[in-house]
Structure 1
């Protein structure tokens, strides 16, 4: 990835407090092809127009209102077709027309709105996080240091008896508190004023508005009392609240710092998926020289060397060397896999063993890595309807807060004018709905990150909420519950050649199968024993029929029924025959063995389906296969209902029938013919090996192909929704309890600030519990074939 775009005097984003316009050099660097290649995907529309889809990293976001301001600023740029912002992830994805605008223009628009933005190419993310963390720590240090000093000056007024301290001394302590409060207001509280100003400029009301208003009112009232003297009276009263002011600013800054780090931790898993490509790679030239180039400069057919510890920059085929590769990003499986000459490797996977040389076969959007990145982008920027509803509540709630604060001030002017400001500020601070808008996004993001680590990618975050309402789980069979290859299920002895033992006959079959590339022959060869080995002579192969060879001078055939002289048999499973020439010349053939094959059941299918049943889900099997295999599969796994010979329309009708009964349905499929029913289901799940069209229609993609990950998905969905509801419930309950206390004057401003800070921090930490999802037991990844069933043993002619 390219290094951060800089000029000689300052980086593209000097910080998020001020947003100066980009210089010409900076704009040119941002719009350079090498920068765009790291953060932009290009798409060609049906009308031939080219569209860019660019990831932007944002700075200065603290609440849902900030995300709305940035979205509005981007959408007003001419040429922007779509802008999606996720405040919790601090990311934006923008679709734009390169004929009408540029990425530098998009960044200018965000910066003009008062926020930081630049291409999300990796290195900048680290730099921004460090810069913002340093700024936040300095602000917190200034506020906390001044708070301690102000509390020291305020303590005598709390503990002294009337007359113990002279008026001049009280006034001196107030002046000292005022001097120490000025840097708190002008520097430490800067983010609150900046956020409030942005909201005001955009004619919105954000979370920082009541906080900034409370700070201003408290400081102005306390300053008026300080300047007027101890005996002076004014509309603001005679009391000073510098201690409360510095305390709640410190508490809010401390909570905001912890929240930002918690959000970064929640996004870490998803973010790490997008940071796997190396900055540069070694390309081998035809003359033997080696040059280091950026990953974006590679071309198809290039030969590159990847050292141990590096990530592969593109999909490729290993030419030289053997190594172990970490493919956890693709499969969720932590165990490395062996790769050698002729094997394929994927971009983003890590080379763990030894240096290898490979030929580049896929680049850019064609790699599996980039397809995963596209899914991650969607998870990072999507805001589920569940969260949009919370954001909608936050706006009216803030107006209600302002109205309550004003009403409290007016009422307390009549009750006790000296406490009117204190009560109004406490109401402003305590009711700020930060917890309402922070806890839920962090929970969703933490859940998406945890699932990504397990090899489950969410294309639609709403699917988690819908999945908790699902009661029916519909499976396709081939490629979903089974592997995409066949396995030997049973061998039927049809006759016994004289002078040959069964083991010798089987050895002949194994030898013939080992010489064929047919899928059934490969499955038979894979099941071969390591005993007797037959030597073949005069081997020939008839396309579409089978193989023929001589063993010990006698002709043998392995292949189809017609090729081997067998009578036509109506079988539900694929089969091959082994035949011996009766006349020794090969004119008459006698079948000796028949091998039946079946699909390989996924290793964890039985356990996973049992766990899904235990979780309360009803399972169904809809397959286009023959009735025998479908019935056997349903019986083996204990599936509740099954249908065979289903067309895509039959599957669609079956799901629609369940939905017509008011049921929520999840569909698990993998083929192109599953795309319509995946689109119709309430939650659609595609396997990692599924067809591209099926994956495009799916809400969730199980990269690992493990059925057991459906249990993880369902469990995570239930925990996520439960935690989100806990957070929203706590935020509402907190306000219901705290608002009356503030209105009656039992909650001073400093305690209100502490309560608000702790409330926000509590829901964020509660959401982060999802990042520690309980691991589910894994079965061995070694595929197992389905055991022979009674309906397979009824073999005519046996």
Structure 2
């Protein structure tokens, strides 16, 4: 860890020290939640060992380990236990850990990846040499292979197997030792037993063919088994590392520096951490935004793909919001900083992804317990089979016991759920939907009704001009004048009207609170833009905005503005209805506005003028009738009704990311991600069931064969490694 600046108070120094990988959900006085990446994990039993090692430390409240993502979420009080003691406890348990900050985490992954690849290469290369040595014994006719040459081939196979046992198979033996020392039975125990017994028995057959173990050797089966199992783990490791790299891509989205404008107009280069709300920064074409903020001047296209999953650049102009981590494609901007550091959208996304990857849904815990019990049964079954065959045919006892140990290893069972959930959460993140709770994927498959909020959810958070008209005047010419005057106002209606117009040519501009904006043109004529009754004493009742001059006898332009439905709102509603679900709209807006938007997006059941309490009552009534509701809202005034729903999705806007209690955040604001999420959740459930069914059927089919002595260790090794490969590769289909 880097040194801290001198002179800081202890509490502030600790906070700065831990800030890159730690949050304080309950405030500075509460427990901290720190994120770590862990190296050396191979199965669910490792998670239990790590959790037990760190929870024994003073000041540690809870430790949550996700074996699939190799991540540790530590709930602790740093003032009571230094970080160095946490890392030392993990190291004493046999694992290397690093705070989840990009650089050291990348170095740890590179080291882990290189080591895994080297182990796989050694096992695979020597497997081919051992098979070459073993081939003559398989193909030679009786009498063709002399005893001396046969013995030489056996000794050569033994020598070639030694590096596989010492180097390639090392993780299995070290993992088994850690699990046994912690009083747990993970999948490394039967694997290590099978490898060890096979090697000992084969070595005995090489150097004492007439002895206890007979003369059959299984070095070819042993090396192939190790190579195939290492291949499965290498593929699993790659999937885990890709998920971590996606997280780091967002975490590293902020530029290394920002150009801050001083009050005198000069520019200084500062690090993003030095920015404060209210600062003004300049962003040139090709540069990234260092903080969340609002555009003061400039217009152009901004790429937000890293944060929202939307590959197409988004048009931005004066008054629009921008998020840290997005990149200016072709425009130059001056931005007022609104949120910095941990409060930015990018860092909110990072925290949510860390939270989701550190979780283990309830189904994972059940599978972990099943796998632990299954491992105990496997060991007893192998021991019983070995003793039975020792009584029936001693020369085959070791081979049968090894085959049972290998073929029943619960690798596929322990990988089935984590591989599927982790892959699915990454696929959703690429679509702009970030899961805060992995269990929401399970609940999403159970939903049978959808309820939307209106403003900020089905509609954009800005208005658009819907209709304009004038009596006895050129409405289009008046509209151009109205747009130019609207540039001088910050009111939402004026912003919707301005639309990038040129505001030059106006004199003595002044804004009247609650009324509108007033100015003189070059001829001295006074024009007003604002409330219809302020512009014209006898307003048109259909108008929401007016522009005119000359009082009662002057020309007046009447306008109506309405909320703009999101571009894909109608398509998303149609896709959800195609699932057979009723789609409803609840809004606190005026019934006429709600009815208009509902008709535009294809929703028949709607309710306007709804209060938070009436929304809550409506959702409770639907759920009391047996419906499981998916609620989609902006997460601000919809918090009570969101909390009541079966699945809760909030639109991902600004600082909401840091405090929302929703199950997921739609940071892309693309509503089509919702039906896509439903489809992916169902596909994930199918993949999970396929993985579990495969693991069960594989064991049901192969265990009797192994017990009967019809499945040699070579075939058992191929089958077990292939089952692990199957569940990992099957889960990768969710990335499509």
What's the TM-score bracket when you normalise by the shorter of the two chains? Answer: 0.7 to 0.9
Which residue of structure 1 lines up, in the alignment, with residue 534 of structure 2? 563
In structure 2, the CA distance between the partners of 1:526 and 1:169, relative to structure 1 (3 Å rule), is closer
| Secondary structure of the corresponding residue to residue 563 of structure 1 | helix
Which residue of structure 2 lines up, in the alignment, with residue 467 of structure 1? 444
**Selected match of 1:543 from 508, 513, 526:** 513
8 Å CA contact 1:674–1:694 kept in 2: the answer is no
Q: How does 1:637-786 map to 2 (within 5 A)?
A: 637-689=601-653, 692=656, 696-772=660-736
Matched, 1:38 2:8: no
8 Å CA contact 1:618–1:640 kept in 2: the answer is no
| Secondary structure of the corresponding residue to residue 470 of structure 1 | coil
In structure 2, the CA distance between the partners of 1:97 and 1:553, relative to structure 1 (3 Å rule), is closer
Equivalent residues, number: 727
Cα distance between partner residues in 1 of 2:601 and 2:299: 39
8 Å CA contact 2:527–2:549 kept in 1: the answer is yes
In structure 2, the CA distance between the partners of 1:155 and 1:489, relative to structure 1 (3 Å rule), is closer
Matched, 1:613 2:593: no
In structure 2, the CA distance between the partners of 1:695 and 1:295, relative to structure 1 (3 Å rule), is closer
Residue 208 of structure 1 deviates from its aligned partner by 0.5
Residue 375 of structure 1 deviates from its aligned partner by 0.5
Cα distance between partner residues in 2 of 1:426 and 1:260: 26
Residue 378 of structure 1 deviates from its aligned partner by 0.9
Residue 199 of structure 1 deviates from its aligned partner by 0.4
Matched, 1:622 2:586: yes
8 Å CA contact 1:561–1:577 kept in 2: the answer is yes
8 Å CA contact 1:34–1:296 kept in 2: the answer is no
Cα distance between partner residues in 1 of 2:98 and 2:517: 63
8 Å CA contact 1:247–1:753 kept in 2: the answer is yes
- Could you give the per-residue CA deviations for residues 26-59 of structure 1, whole angstroms, max 9, x where no partner exists? xxxxx988763432334553xx615433221211
| Secondary structure of the corresponding residue to residue 184 of structure 1 | helix
Residue 187 of structure 1 deviates from its aligned partner by 2.1
Which residue of structure 1 lines up, in the alignment, with residue 544 of structure 2? 575
Cα distance between partner residues in 2 of 1:406 and 1:634: 68
Cα distance between partner residues in 2 of 1:663 and 1:560: 44
Residue 520 of structure 1 deviates from its aligned partner by 2.7
8 Å CA contact 1:670–1:694 kept in 2: the answer is no
**Normalising by the residue count of structure 1, what TM-score does the alignment of the two structures yield?**
0.81
In structure 2, the CA distance between the partners of 1:101 and 1:454, relative to structure 1 (3 Å rule), is same
**Selected match of 1:195 from 175, 178, 184:** 175
| Secondary structure of the corresponding residue to residue 114 of structure 1 | coil
Which residue of structure 2 lines up, in the alignment, with residue 786 of structure 1? none
Q: CA RMSD in A?
A: 3.8
Q: Which one is further off, 105-114 or 141-150? A: 141-150
Cα distance between partner residues in 2 of 1:642 and 1:36: 48
In structure 2, the CA distance between the partners of 1:524 and 1:157, relative to structure 1 (3 Å rule), is closer
Which residue of structure 1 lines up, in the alignment, with residue 210 of structure 2? 231
| Secondary structure of the corresponding residue to residue 54 of structure 1 | strand
Which residue of structure 1 lines up, in the alignment, with residue 10 of structure 2? none
Cα distance between partner residues in 2 of 1:280 and 1:543: 39
Cα distance between partner residues in 1 of 2:335 and 2:598: 44
In structure 2, the CA distance between the partners of 1:447 and 1:693, relative to structure 1 (3 Å rule), is closer
Which residue of structure 1 lines up, in the alignment, with residue 236 of structure 2? 259
Which residue of structure 2 lines up, in the alignment, with residue 376 of structure 1? 353
Which residue of structure 2 lines up, in the alignment, with residue 481 of structure 1? 458
In structure 2, the CA distance between the partners of 1:41 and 1:504, relative to structure 1 (3 Å rule), is closer
Which residue of structure 2 lines up, in the alignment, with residue 520 of structure 1? 493
Residue 732 of structure 1 deviates from its aligned partner by 1.5
8 Å CA contact 2:651–2:669 kept in 1: the answer is yes
**Selected match of 2:385 from 385, 408, 411:** 408
Matched, 1:457 2:439: no
- Could you give the per-residue CA deviations for residues 669-723 of structure 1, whole angstroms, max 9, x where no partner exists? 0152210111111111111237729961211111121222212222222222222
Q: Which one is further off, 748-757 or 346-355? A: 346-355
Q: How does 1:203-282 map to 2 (within 5 A)?
A: 203-227=183-207, 229-232=208-211, 234=212, 236-277=213-254
Which residue of structure 2 lines up, in the alignment, with residue 781 of structure 1? none
Q: Which one is further off, 603-612 or 542-551? A: 542-551
Residue 749 of structure 1 deviates from its aligned partner by 0.8
Which residue of structure 2 lines up, in the alignment, with residue 396 of structure 1? 373
Cα distance between partner residues in 1 of 2:368 and 2:413: 8
Which residue of structure 2 lines up, in the alignment, with residue 64 of structure 1? 44
Residue 147 of structure 1 deviates from its aligned partner by 2.7
Residue 118 of structure 1 deviates from its aligned partner by 1.3
In structure 2, the CA distance between the partners of 1:262 and 1:366, relative to structure 1 (3 Å rule), is closer
8 Å CA contact 2:633–2:650 kept in 1: the answer is yes
| Secondary structure of the corresponding residue to residue 648 of structure 2 | strand
Cα distance between partner residues in 2 of 1:680 and 1:604: 26
Residue 171 of structure 1 deviates from its aligned partner by 4.0
In structure 2, the CA distance between the partners of 1:98 and 1:139, relative to structure 1 (3 Å rule), is same
8 Å CA contact 1:507–1:534 kept in 2: the answer is no
Residue 577 of structure 1 deviates from its aligned partner by 4.2
**Normalising by the residue count of structure 2, what TM-score does the alignment of the two structures yield?**
0.88
Which residue of structure 2 lines up, in the alignment, with residue 418 of structure 1? 395
Which residue of structure 1 lines up, in the alignment, with residue 101 of structure 2? 121
Residue 181 of structure 1 deviates from its aligned partner by 2.5
8 Å CA contact 1:564–1:591 kept in 2: the answer is no
Q: How does 1:576-595 map to 2 (within 5 A)?
A: 576-577=545-546, 594-595=558-559
8 Å CA contact 1:678–1:694 kept in 2: the answer is no
8 Å CA contact 1:270–1:452 kept in 2: the answer is no
Cα distance between partner residues in 2 of 1:101 and 1:462: 31
| Secondary structure of the corresponding residue to residue 441 of structure 2 | helix
8 Å CA contact 2:565–2:601 kept in 1: the answer is no
Q: Which one is further off, 516-525 or 378-387? A: 516-525
Cα distance between partner residues in 2 of 1:737 and 1:92: 37
**Selected match of 1:326 from 278, 303, 311:** 303
Cα distance between partner residues in 1 of 2:611 and 2:258: 48
Which residue of structure 1 lines up, in the alignment, with residue 32 of structure 2? 52
**Selected match of 1:90 from 52, 70, 74:** 70
In structure 2, the CA distance between the partners of 1:380 and 1:518, relative to structure 1 (3 Å rule), is same
Residue 285 of structure 1 deviates from its aligned partner by 10
8 Å CA contact 1:222–1:242 kept in 2: the answer is yes
| Secondary structure of the corresponding residue to residue 105 of structure 1 | helix
Residue 372 of structure 1 deviates from its aligned partner by 1.1
Cα distance between partner residues in 2 of 1:289 and 1:506: 38
